[in-house]
Structure 1
Amino acid sequence: MSKKVFGCIILLFHITISVFAGDVDTLIVHSNAMNKDIKNVVITPDGYSKKSDTYSVVYLLHGAGGDYKTWLKVAPKLKEYSDFYNVIIVCPDGERTSWYLDSPIDSTYKYETYVSKELIASVDEKYNTKKEAKGRAISGLSMGGHGALYLAFRHTDIWGAAASMSGGVDLRPYGLRWEIQKRLGSITEYPKYWEENSVINLVHLISDKKLTFQIDCGTEDFFYPDNKRLHEKLIERKIPHDYTERPGKHNTDYWRNSIKYQLLFFNDFFNNNSTKS
């Protein structure tokens, strides 16, 4: 075989790979609600094509102090997971300490609107997605764990599955931490805002709704007592859910391990609903 022919074969191979391989992209979405552009990581699986099948989407929310690139550092194998489960993964930027809320005291923070409406619409427009709840899941770590359950509980029409790892599911014990008071005001002055925006107080929203969800927290995590109380409240109200607790702290090692199981959890949900109308 001549070097010229061999070179052509190699070139063709690389062209083929570039056509069928997925990507890790930065998607910039303009938020009309906040009048600014927001960056998001979007991971597409190998073989992704806008002309073929539609894809389920998993949204992953970062914790306090993080940004849209955090999940790539926490779980470097995200691209492999996207390939293996054949899903699109979206990692939004939650502005360090937005808590994924529409702040009742600061109109410049409307991250519930951004993630649940503006980002969803943009991803569905630009990518070949399943545009219904049974094709969407959301999870997150710490502040993002709060955000994932908060958004899913409040928008069961948007997400069919949700999960939280080490989530801050009750904001009230942390009145002076992680800039929560900048989003909700002082807990002594605005206790109602803290009550209304804590996940543990939102379980009534899903008592008669279909939402597949999981709670995961390490037993050495400072959020562990809150997660356990949420689990017990759900049991008391007979609301189906998965609950995982195991030795672990509030750290990257725990989250890197958790995401593997949560993506399997979501994959089962997608497969179980793929043939349902």
Structure 2
Amino acid sequence: MFNRQQAKSVSSVSKSNSIIISTKTKEKESIKDNLLLEKMKLETQRTRGLVVNMGLSWYKIFEKEFSKEYFQKLANFIADQREQGVVIYPPPHHVFTFTRMCELNQVKVVILGQDPYHGPNQAHGLSFSVRKNIPTPPSLQNIFKELKSDIPDFIIPKHGTLSGWARQGVLLLNACLTVEQQKANSHRNKGWEKFTDTIIQYLNDQSSNIVFLLWGKDAQHKGSRIDQKRHYVLKAAHPSPLSAANGFFNCKHFSKTNGYLKAGDLDEIDWSQLPSEDELPFD
């Protein structure tokens, strides 16, 4: 039988081996990440500046899409427009903000939008969200009103930056990821829909118990193939002032979302966890 000294020695060796294995694993992961970063730099060149600043967890899964014909046509279309002096939103380094703020394997809620805001300095890669020092758009104002009605403790912020939601696992995804200045829907049917359909299909197939918030006919059509046996799908009118009174107000999607997450032993979303004005990103 082992005496105490021998037991301590074995335990010490075991801990040392665990530390060595853990360190080697981290080193391997770091090497892989560095290789992916180098690969992404080449991707940025190949797509003429379209694929840039993408979260690694997303790039690992969706990199094959970037070499497909539809995406190359999309990349060329956007690059040609920019070279001709057309102003496109969001800026290149913000197109994939949603992938950096919300890890792919941590998505708990998906809020589908249509296309980015088309006014100056608004869009930054999160659906319905705007950059700092920009007035809150009408649709987002209505989202905040519904939140206040649904969750009385919610305090309507003085800004419209939703990065705090994204960091908790709320994927704020637009169907189209770019738009021409002052021309709503100008980048529809150029290829983005196919790319974002791929994202939704991946989440549908590879994850479970995600809450999908589908506001308006466009979002509901895009989410029509979501498996409602695997996921929780909530539908309502779009929060636009033109339609919010027709079923968005009083939909109670935010409390229903948290009720579903809680029932599944998942962390609820703190809808009030939005950055203070001193913490706002995206200068």
Give the structure-1-normalised TM-score: 0.32
Q: Which has the higher helix share?
A: 2
Q: Which has the higher strand share?
A: 1
Give the structure-2-normalised TM-score: 0.32
